[in-house]
Amino acid sequence: MKHCLLACFWLLLTAGAQAQTAPAFPADTTQLTVYGYLDGYYGFDFPHPSSTQRPEFFYSHNRQDEFTVNQALVGLRFDNGEVHGALGLQGGTYPEANYAAEPELLRNIYEAYAGFRPFKKAWFDMGVFGSHIGYESAISKDNWTVTHSLAAEGSPYYEAGVKLSYELSPKLTVTGLGLNGWQNIRDNNRSKALGTQVQWRPSAKWLVNSSTFFGNEQPQDSARRYRYFHDLYVVYTPNARWSALALFDIGTQQRARPGTPATPWHTAQLVVRRHFGPRWALAARAEYYYAQYGVVVRFLAPTPAQRDFFVRGASLNLDYAPSRHVLVRLEGKFLNSKNARFPSDAGSPALNYGNLTSTVALSF
């Protein structure tokens, strides 16, 4: 009996010692993954200009008549269920064009963020991450079409700041963001911007997204001109073969002169996609983009008669996936502008523009 009591006492002591030295955190179930992406492409424009540069408001697949790389990306992602983070570095013609305003050392950052769960169904993240605006990713293979829409080219692809996402229910997630600005890693002023996102899935067939942005986008704080923006899109997937998407964005920016009306812009698109088995898919897109005085659009004609930007168009996209790691794509696009602003072989701007873009994308 004495030996039994001594044994029980020893077990209690060792158990207490183990309890005191046990970590206060849950068991680590870390998942560290390596990912990569390579998007090679060749494009050809009509009319065919001597320059290899496509219109200036194209940031993705923006070269023509040369074989080149839109995006080469490699990164690490970490997630143990309680904390997560990612670091991705990139090169290619996409970051060369879209990150031109960033300091040189920051232009190759695709994503760099860390986050944790402050609550069971919430994530708090800080760093550089993908934009909360629009349905298109900078990674072209994840989009329904090869080239990005006019709406995507006129809104942020990436953001720097903090965000808090909370899953109110399995069907509803809300996010609040504090940002350096409208697609800025390096802040261009002392003002900060705010953003929101609401994603609602009423059923497996529907997704409704509403995103907003509010901030001052002038380089000098003393000349503040606030920008207001709302992005709305709806995705309908009735079955595994068919899917459709409708998008409408609207924004305004204050004018330099006090008392004058704000400058508006708006854009819309409709995309329909059809899968033909696991390897083939076809997508058609119709779209337009209007920006008074060319606000948020970099490419403008110099004459006052052509100060408004109004472009509409359509595209047709064919996908072939020989394996789950490779995607081969071909797209034809046609655009028409209210004012002649497209490059041409004649030297003077043209009203109409078309292109063919072919890509081979490798991902892992």
Domain-by-domain residue ranges, the chain?
30-363
Cα 159 to Cα 73, 163, 259, 270, 321, distances in angstroms: 17, 10, 31, 25, 31
Tens of pLDDT along 195-241? 999 999 999 999 999 999 999 987 766 678 899 999 999 999 999 99
Q: Answer positive or negative: Cα dihedral of 300, 303, 304, 309.
A: negative
User: Can you give the length of the chain in residues?
Assistant: 364
Q: Give 270-279 pLDDT, tens digit per residue.
A: 999 999 999 9
pLDDT 10s digits, 288-300: 999 998 888 865 5
Nearest C-alpha neighbor of 72 from the set 21, 7, 140: 140
Secondary-structure breakdown of the chain: helix, strand, coil percentages, each rounded to the nearest 5: 10, 50, 35
Architecture of the CATH domain 30-363: Beta Barrel (2.40)
The predicted model scores a pTM of 0.87
Among all chains, which residue has been given the structure tokens 């899109």? 233
CA 179, CA 197: separation in Å to the nearest integer?
13
- The CA distance from 266 to 71, in Å, is 28
| pLDDT per residue as tens, the chain (364 positions) | 444 434 443 433 334 333 334 445 455 566 999 999 999 999 999 988 888 999 989 999 999 999 999 999 999 999 999 999 999 999 999 999 999 999 999 999 999 999 999 999 999 999 999 999 999 999 999 999 999 999 999 999 999 999 999 999 999 999 999 999 999 999 888 889 999 999 999 999 999 999 999 999 877 666 788 999 999 999 999 999 999 999 999 999 988 777 788 899 999 999 999 999 999 999 999 999 999 988 888 655 445 556 789 999 999 999 999 999 999 999 999 999 998 888 877 768 889 999 999 999 999 9
Q: Is 210 exposed, middle or buried (0-12, 13-18, 19+ CB in 10 A)?
A: middle
